[in-house]
A and B are shown apart, each in its own frame.
Chain A
Amino acid sequence: MADKLTTKQRLAIERQQMPEQVAFARATNFTEVNLGFTEQLALLEAERCLQCKDPKCVRGCPVGVNIPQFLGLLASGKIAEAAQSLLCDNALPSVTGRVCPQETQCESECVRTAKGTSVGIGHLERYVADWAQRHGELPAKAPATGKRVAIVGSGPAGLTAAGELARLGHEVTLYEALHKPGGVLVYGIPEFRLPKQIVAQEVDRLVAAGVKIECNVIIGRTYTLGELQAAFDAVFIANGAGLPVFMDIPGENFKGVYSANEYLTRINLMAAYQFPKSDTPVLRGRRVAVVGGGNVAMDSVRTAKRIGAEHAMIVYRRTREELPARAEEAHHAEEEGVEFHYLTAPLEVIGDAERWVSGLRCVRMKLGAPDASGRARPEAIPGSEFVIACDVVVVAIGTRANPLLTATCPDLKLNARGNILVDEIGMTSLPGVFAGGDIVRGAATVILAMGDGKRAALAINGYLQKHLPAPRPNAAQLDPQLSRSAS
């Protein structure tokens, strides 16, 4: 685009559609649904940004990406500068460009939403981030400070904090309990929504920026928090809300009932969809009922469809209007042939003589008066019980705080639900120990966790400058864990 467009010309450009795999094809494969903008589509879409003096979109972004700046650079063809601008604000743009609920964040604040459709910020973020990946773009880095920071958990909060802290010149070690870094990005979100290669590339970029990653280390077991405090100048806890919640109804321990965490972990992290090429099995089922209406439920049901379920069903006690899932996910699920049982609540899992799942006894619901959350409270309709025939049930009704770390640190203050309490800058009741993401908030989104990671990184930076002006010459060292040095 050689000449600068006028606002009128910009307003005349319509929103560019994201190319996607057709529904009937993608419902049987794990390849990414959204195919990504071409350069032409991206430049055209970027021109739609009006470059507002007071950009409301930035306020809608939990990590505060300077959206008009990177869009402006992109529109004028300065893509390397656009990438640099984006990378300085967001440590994982290829991830957020794919999984962020932009429609309720930046894009909902876009002034163009009032008269039509917002700028496709998420799709453009993805485009610039993928370009940066292909061209090995690294964010600029501050000189080394000699300060050491440990991060517990390599999910979105941990990775973001690691990226920020490394960029600020600190020495960062990231501890991951599983065998692969990425947390929910690798065990939870399926390949067709977030290719694992994208996560691996983002992780590689952090490693290239000097972040040390140690897998198979469970803080609270392999090392205690106290040991980390002794060996590092600050600690950031971002170990997530790991523990799955079950429905507490009869039959929930029959064979064929999974938590969404287990179902998705088997298929995503352990590649059970490639069984027997990979060794981890998953019960496939011809009729799969997924209980819940959030993004995790959508991920589970769309996965079930892809591994061959003839009927992949959502069982949700409210209506389509109240689905907590992103609009795009629910829409994609509908296109792929997922069946939705709205206003339906499970009462009991039914099993056959050998205790294999054979059905889900449910009751019809109606919406009553709004509850504390402002959503209409579902009420059971007496006498409306019925059975949904199914051979696999996936429970996707949420997770709660994992006590594995917190139970080993009695000094760490928690709330009644077991989440870690933090002050306004993200510091826990232990000085120098910060926390963020789902272990603080309870189950939330990738981008909110990333926002916590970014804020915590800045707070840790401030803390280190204020309280530890010089590096400690004789800080304790952890004994080698030897997870990788033996070979």
Chain B
Amino acid sequence: MHTVLTRFQLSENVTKLGVLAPRIATIRQPGQFVIVRLREDSERIPLTIADADPLGGTISLVIQSVGKSTNELVALQPGECIRDVAGPLGHPTELISSGHALCIGGGVGTAVVHPIAQGLHRRGARVTSIIGGRTMSAVIYEWELRRYGPVVPCTDDGSYGRKGFVTDAAREILAAEKIDIVYAVGPVPMMRSIANLTREFNIRTIVSLNPIMVDGTGMCGGCRVSIGHENKFACVDGPEFDGHKVDFDELADRLASYRDFEKHATHCAREHCDRQPPKS
């Protein structure tokens, strides 16, 4: 059992939980994720570790509510427990220690960019971040990222920062400055646009993929993604890959495998809201 110690609502449907997991908090590295399972009947869900406090023994998990399982996770209050937290899984991010890195986060993906920017900064690389959201309240992690370098916030509706997509801001920065590497995490269409853009500029681009996963240890193969026409498992070979080689269309398509199921489960949960998460 892993107790939730803190809970912050970052935006309308994005919540940050501080979860007690001392071992993982001590050894996790940027880019790594955990698999969590809330209750006995719950799904196993992969979540990237957004931050960790090794002294306090907690990890930060940033969760966007998109279905029954994530709704239940974000509803957790301090003092309540997550049954299973396994990790840290996946390869750590390939970090540069000199030069200029551009970190681009879209929506909840900004929380995944955070540990990467943190790691780059600790190694001495120069970091510029571009973060985007639909509207002002959906822009997250801006002040945390500002510790590591300048941040360009963007909103689709222009309510905060630049109006427009992160790609537009990225194009300007790439044209104006020498960027050695780009890290991009966000919705599939955003990562695809960034990869197409950086291909023009011939800049190495790392993306973090979030395919459907069951065990997270290489056993099920459900998270297979095509990287340069080769099948790779995001859990053991990734989750980060060369953005110029990823088949984003296939990734987006496979992510839709259970969309109707998720709707169905959400519906059933509303019909029978008698089950409560375990208390500590």
In angstroms, Cα B69 to Cα A402, docked, is 28
Task: Give per-residue flags for B14-40: 1 if the beta carbon is below 8 A from chain A beta carbons, else 0.
Answer: 000000111110110000000001000
Complex contact B220–A281 (CB within 8 A): no
Complex contact A179–B219 (CB within 8 A): no
Complex contact A258–B231 (CB within 8 A): no
Contacts of A281 in B (CB 8 A): 258, 261-262, 265
Complex contact B217–A177 (CB within 8 A): yes
In angstroms, Cα B250 to Cα A270, docked, is 25
Task: Give per-residue flags for B197-220: 1 if the beta carbon is below 8 A from chain A beta carbons, else 0.
Answer: 000000000000000001101111
Complex contact B20–A486 (CB within 8 A): yes
Residue of A nearest to B3 (CB): A486
Residue of A nearest to B86 (CB): A216
Complex contact A262–B218 (CB within 8 A): no
B238 to A: closest C-beta gap in Å? 13
In angstroms, Cα B22 to Cα A480, docked, is 8
A115 to B: closest C-beta gap in Å? 46
Contact status of A217 and B256, CB under 8 A, knowing A262-B214, A403-B236, A482-B22: no
Complex contact B219–A187 (CB within 8 A): yes
Interface residues of A in 357-408 (CB under 8 A from B): 402-404
Residue of B nearest to A215 (CB): B84
Which of A266, A271, A483, A484 is the one whose CB lies under 8 Å from B214? A266
Q: What is the interface size of chain B, counting residues whose CB is below 8 A from a CB of the partner?
A: 52
Interface presence of B63 (CB below 8 A): no
Contacts of A187 in B (CB 8 A): 215, 219
Contacts of A217 in B (CB 8 A): 86
Complex contact A261–B43 (CB within 8 A): no
Contact status of A404 and B253, CB under 8 A, knowing A217-B86, A243-B218: no
Interface presence of A178 (CB below 8 A): yes
Interface presence of A279 (CB below 8 A): yes
Which of B1, B87, B88, B217 is the one whose CB lies under 8 Å from A484? B1
Interface presence of B77 (CB below 8 A): no
In angstroms, Cα B83 to Cα A216, docked, is 10
Which of A218, A261, A265 is the one whose CB lies under 8 Å from B86? A218
B37 to A: closest C-beta gap in Å? 6
| Total A-B Cβ pairs within 8 A | 142
Complex contact B68–A280 (CB within 8 A): no
Task: Give per-residue flags for A398-431: 1 if the beta carbon is below 8 A from chain B beta carbons, else 0.
Answer: 0000111000000000000000000000000000
Complex contact A279–B43 (CB within 8 A): yes
B275 to A: closest C-beta gap in Å? 10
Chain A contact residues, majority secondary structure: loop
Complex contact A486–B1 (CB within 8 A): yes
Interface presence of A197 (CB below 8 A): no
Complex contact A486–B23 (CB within 8 A): no
In angstroms, Cα B256 to Cα A283, docked, is 12
The segment from B112-120, B139-147, B221-229 that touches chain A is B221-229
Complex contact A261–B23 (CB within 8 A): no
Interface residues of A in 237-292 (CB under 8 A from B): 242-244, 246, 248, 252-253, 255-256, 258-259, 261-262, 265-266, 270-271, 275-281, 283
In angstroms, Cα B218 to Cα A404, docked, is 8
Complex contact A262–B221 (CB within 8 A): yes
Interface presence of A481 (CB below 8 A): yes
Interface presence of A222 (CB below 8 A): yes
Contact status of A402 and B218, CB under 8 A, knowing A279-B265, A486-B280, A487-B1: yes
Interface presence of B137 (CB below 8 A): no
Contacts of B44 in A (CB 8 A): 179, 270, 280
Complex contact B268–A265 (CB within 8 A): no
A195 to B: closest C-beta gap in Å? 17
Complex contact B42–A279 (CB within 8 A): yes
B53 to A: closest C-beta gap in Å? 14
In angstroms, Cα B262 to Cα A426, docked, is 46
Contacts of B42 in A (CB 8 A): 279
Which of B26, B87, B215, B231 is the one whose CB lies under 8 Å from A246? B231
In angstroms, Cα B230 to Cα A248, docked, is 9
B232 to A: closest C-beta gap in Å? 11
B76 to A: closest C-beta gap in Å? 14
Residue of A nearest to B20 (CB): A486
Interface presence of B41 (CB below 8 A): yes
In angstroms, Cα B81 to Cα A270, docked, is 20
In angstroms, Cα B264 to Cα A259, docked, is 24
Complex contact A244–B258 (CB within 8 A): no
In angstroms, Cα B91 to Cα A450, docked, is 32
Which of B214, B250, B253 counts the most chain A CB atoms within 10 A?
B214
In angstroms, Cα B222 to Cα A354, docked, is 18
Contact status of A482 and B20, CB under 8 A, knowing A262-B221, A404-B236: yes
Residue of B nearest to A479 (CB): B23
Complex contact A402–B86 (CB within 8 A): no
Interface presence of A355 (CB below 8 A): yes
Interface presence of A221 (CB below 8 A): yes
Complex contact B250–A253 (CB within 8 A): yes
Which of B68, B81, B84 is the one whose CB lies under 8 Å from A179? B84
Contact status of A221 and B87, CB under 8 A, knowing A179-B44, A276-B264: yes
Complex contact A253–B226 (CB within 8 A): yes
Complex contact A270–B214 (CB within 8 A): yes
Residue of B nearest to A271 (CB): B41
In angstroms, Cα B258 to Cα A349, docked, is 19
In angstroms, Cα B280 to Cα A258, docked, is 37
Residue of B nearest to A278 (CB): B41
Contacts of B256 in A (CB 8 A): 255
B55 to A: closest C-beta gap in Å? 13
Contacts of B100 in A (CB 8 A): none
Contacts of B43 in A (CB 8 A): 270, 279-280
Complex contact A221–B88 (CB within 8 A): yes
Complex contact B23–A246 (CB within 8 A): no
Q: 18 A–B contact pairs at CB < 8 A?
A: A177-B217, A187-B215, A216-B85, A252-B231, A253-B226, A265-B214, A276-B264, A279-B41, A281-B262, A281-B265, A404-B218, A404-B236, A479-B22, A481-B22, A482-B20, A482-B22, A487-B3, A487-B280
* 6 nearest CB pairs, A to B: A487-B1, A262-B220, A281-B261, A216-B86, A259-B221, A276-B268
**14 additional A-B residue pairs with CB within 8 Å, beyond A179-B83, A259-B222, A283-B258:** A177-B215, A178-B86, A223-B23, A242-B218, A243-B233, A244-B220, A244-B221, A253-B226, A255-B253, A255-B254, A481-B23, A482-B21, A486-B81, A487-B3
